[in-house]
Amino acid sequence: MILSKYCDFFITIDSALQHMCSNQSFNKKGIVLWGSTLPNAFGYKTNVNLQSPYPSCVEIDPNVIIDEALKINI
């Protein structure tokens, strides 16, 4: 948690990390990878939310993740 305060942006699955980084204190931009949970229920519009086509796992093409990371304005 302490290190997340100093990152430029983050990449994570739907977890506590996205909530820590996206809160008003840290206000970091990031990419969140979603599997069985849904970004419209638990995500933040300020993040890039990538939904896996497979409901039981998070499987997203790494090239898509890298392309989205390169678009983030830090």
Can you give the residue ranges of every domain in the chain? 1-51
Other CB atoms within 10 A of residue 19 CB: 15
Say whether 15 sits in a helix, a strand or coil: coil
Q: Are 15 and 58 in contact (CB under 8 A)?
A: no
Q: What is the band of 63 on the pLDDT scale with cuts at 50, 70, 90?
A: very high
Position 61 scores a pLDDT of: 95
Q: How far apart are the first and last CA of the chain?
A: 20
What is the tens place of the pLDDT at every residue in 14-61? Answer: 888 898 888 877 888 899 999 988 888 888 888 999 999 987 888 999
CA distance 54 to 19: 23
36 to each of 21, 27, 28, 41, how far by Cα in Å? 21, 25, 24, 11
